[in-house]
Chain A
Amino acid sequence: MALIREPKNVDFTVQSKPWTEEELRDFRKLMNELKAKNAKRKRSTSTTSKKVVV
């Protein structure tokens, strides 16, 4: 298994501050675009993998 080994001199700490309404709105817009792209890719993959019966 490939563990993510942080360097010994790096302490991976997260302390997030609340995102503003504008940041959240822009993030959600981008996220929805990415989700739609993923769904489209998934649909096209499942369509192309279907067997065609004549």
Chain B
Amino acid sequence: MQAQGSREEEAAVTLGASGWTTFRRVTLPNIRWALLYGVILTNARAVGEFGAVSVVSGAIRGKTNTLPLHLEQLYQDYNAVGAFACAALLAFIALLTLAAKAGLEWRAARREAFA
């Protein structure tokens, strides 16, 4: 956002737009792809995180548990079916995230070639 500067926002204000309108119609559209990309990367981190959550959350079942921690607990309970189901689900989420990221990058490359 800093690299983009505030020129377009200034232009919007001189044309009579309010702060909220400027954000909704000028700022947000300009940052939407970067924002979405950030969400996807954060999602990838969240899915993969194990150690930090394990230390901090206490891993109370059904309350402060995450999918990777749940997987570990199931495995320690000798619930192999449940554990592998969770692992498959995690892998599926990872694949989805990867597909979304690839899609966004493809779009960005195309827009760059276009511009």
Do A and B associate with each other?
no
Residues of B within 8 A of A (CB): none
Which A residues lie at the B interface, using CB under 8 A? none
